[in-house]
Structure 1
């Protein structure tokens, strides 16, 4: 009886996944949102079943996705299916949300990197190069328009700035992979976990943003990365240059996150409306100046323990 129930539940969840997968592939507009729900059937199944059954569920879903969505559906199933299976299994083991977020992000990142390598090596298609080529083509068109309008000097200045930006994107590809993986899995959690509660799966609530504090060791890593840039002055394009740039960039994002936690703490202590820190968070994402200010605030908070000092004063 138990096996029959498990088979029935598995079949229903695979059918639900297939519908979501087809919507993602064939209806691009809706698929942008729907793809974030692809791991949900895997999370639901993995949260209630043993490891052997989870592995069988993933294999069957791969076969079904190949039949219904062709070979192009397999990368999606691998990335979102394995991520969902790991998240669900960790939920079954009563792990906290932070552990689930980090583990899910690492699984998604590994899938992302492997698929990037495979498409580049075997299909001779590099999505990063194609994207940068499109940007180059747009810049060339804009440059010609400026030249025809008699603003050749201004065109050259703008073009040089954009070229530097494109070179920076090439350097930061590893960081962009890491950050995008964390963002995707964060939204998967955000959308999926409330639904899981409806199915009777125990889900730990997030800590309030104001109570989160990153390890102080991250500050030392950040300072060491900055010091490495100052001492070694690595040449652009070298392995050391790329490594230091990516490390610095990721750690900067951690400092910004820590700064935002202090903003939420500050407004909470003053009894202000919740909309204020949310607005500041949005401005931080959209406006570079805010990004630097909040990052500096995060460094000060980690280094001097601003939250702890405020509590002691009270």
Structure 2
């Protein structure tokens, strides 16, 4: 009975989160929409899961119309994917990456459907939003009180073009954040309900694949000899998104090394935190992560002192 009422409570939470998509709160609540689905799918049988989800979808469709279910499905499918992996006791990292991958694929699928059947143009939409946001800056630049402020339509066009080309990077990062938040909340919740699922290893023990270095070197070489990121072609867009993504991963590896060193060298706990803060202000410190992947720095840190 306890589990049944807990499931009902999560169904109510799921309904409230779905309804919030039609409000300004969606900017915050959307990040948590996967969580109820993960919890319900992991703790219930398939039949019971459908019986809990169906009333929520029916109520949502009655309030906002059947088209709203497409948005609901976008958040439920990754929840089912992650819940299925939890049931199989798959590692936490693989679950997060698979969940993030499913979110990315679904976004691309919805984008394809919107483009083909509803004549939706994501590029034009983003450009319109940015032009609206930067219009006041242009008005200021044209006023006699602008001083040294100069904002031209050409700058707005360049900003729009760059933003559009960064869409793949943005999608991947947002998908990873969605999946990570879902795991961070669902895992302890499931544990409290008697469903033990794997957890991520301590951050200090994270080690990224060495192949990432080769991807980065190949990207730099291609960029050096072709100047691809300066063009709007397909290759330029790939490099424009791939290189920052790899640098972000190297930053994560650097932060992991800082906490590893602090743990094994018995440093003050504030030291790795300060180093991570420095990493945010001096992004070039990601090179530490490259050395951590390429060389046995951790073995040297843990080697007994003579």
Deviation by residue 1:59-105 (Cα, 9 ceiling, x = unmatched): 77545532344245324321221111111111111111101101111
Segments of structure 2 that go 5 or more residues without pairing to the other structure are none
Aligned-partner Cα distance in 2 for 1:162–1:311: 52
Aligned-partner Cα distance in 2 for 1:127–1:273: 48
TM-score by length of 1: 0.82
Question: What is the aligned-residue RMSD (CA, Å)?
Answer: 3.2
- Alpha-carbon distance change, 48 to 270 in structure 1, aligned in 2, over 3 angstroms: same
Pairwise CA distance, 1:253: 1.6
- Alpha-carbon distance change, 272 to 163 in structure 1, aligned in 2, over 3 angstroms: farther
CA contact (8 A) 1:97 1:205 kept: yes
Pairwise CA distance, 1:311: 1.9
Is residue 306 from structure 1 mapped to residue 289 from structure 2 by the alignment? no
- Alpha-carbon distance change, 9 to 194 in structure 1, aligned in 2, over 3 angstroms: closer
CA contact (8 A) 1:17 1:41 kept: yes
Is residue 74 from structure 1 mapped to residue 69 from structure 2 by the alignment? yes
CA contact (8 A) 2:126 2:160 kept: no
Q: Which of the numbers 186, 207, 225 marks the counterpart of 2:219?
A: 225
CA contact (8 A) 1:62 1:74 kept: yes
Aligned-partner Cα distance in 1 for 2:272–2:292: 16
Aligned-partner Cα distance in 1 for 2:290–2:156: 29
CA contact (8 A) 1:210 1:265 kept: yes
Aligned to 1:272: 267
Segments of structure 1 that go 5 or more residues without pairing to the other structure are none
Is residue 21 from structure 1 mapped to residue 12 from structure 2 by the alignment? no
Q: Which has the higher contact order (CA 8 A, sep 6+)?
A: 2
CA contact (8 A) 2:82 2:95 kept: yes
CA contact (8 A) 2:259 2:272 kept: yes
Aligned to 2:181: 187
Is residue 45 from structure 1 mapped to residue 40 from structure 2 by the alignment? yes
SS in 1 for 2:267: coil
Aligned to 1:167: 161
Q: Which of the numbers 203, 206, 213 marks the counterpart of 2:200?
A: 206
Q: Which of the numbers 140, 147, 167 marks the counterpart of 2:142?
A: 147
- Alpha-carbon distance change, 213 to 236 in structure 1, aligned in 2, over 3 angstroms: same
Number of aligned pairs? 304
Is residue 136 from structure 1 mapped to residue 127 from structure 2 by the alignment? no
Aligned-partner Cα distance in 2 for 1:202–1:189: 13
Q: Which shows bigger deviation, 49-58 or 161-170?
A: 49-58
Aligned to 1:104: 99
Q: Which of the numbers 243, 257, 275 marks the counterpart of 2:252?
A: 257
Deviation by residue 1:101-124 (Cα, 9 ceiling, x = unmatched): 011111111122222333344444
Aligned to 1:296: 287
CA contact (8 A) 1:210 1:264 kept: yes
SS in 2 for 1:102: helix
SS in 2 for 1:28: coil
Aligned-partner Cα distance in 2 for 1:78–1:275: 43
- Alpha-carbon distance change, 128 to 239 in structure 1, aligned in 2, over 3 angstroms: closer
Aligned-partner Cα distance in 1 for 2:119–2:279: 37
